[in-house]
Amino acid sequence: MKRIIFSKKWFDLYEIFDKKSNSNFYGIKPPDYVTAVAFDRNGEIFLVIQERPVIEKTKSLETPGGQVDKGETPIKSIKRELVEELGLSFENINRVAILEPDVGRLMNKLHVFKAENPIFVRDPEIGIKVLTVDPDDLIQYIYDGKLSNAYSIAAISIVLNLFKNESI
| Digitized pLDDT (tens) for each residue of the chain, 168 residues in all | 899 999 999 999 999 999 999 999 999 999 999 999 999 999 999 999 998 988 887 899 999 999 999 999 999 999 999 999 999 999 999 999 999 999 999 999 999 999 999 999 999 999 999 999 999 999 999 999 999 999 999 999 999 987 665 554
| pLDDT attached to residue 62 | 97
CATH architecture of the domain covering 31-162: Alpha-Beta Complex (3.90)
Enclosing H/E stretch for 137 = none
Cα–Cα distance between 99 and 105 in angstroms, integer? 14
Domain with CATH 3.90.79.10 in the chain: 31-162
C-alpha distances out from residue 139 to 60, 134, 135, 150, 158, Å: 16, 10, 8, 13, 14
How does pLDDT run across 2-44, given as a tens digit for each residue? Answer: 999 999 999 999 999 999 999 999 999 999 999 999 999 999 9
Residue 57's pLDDT is 78
Q: Please give the pLDDT value at position 166.
A: 55
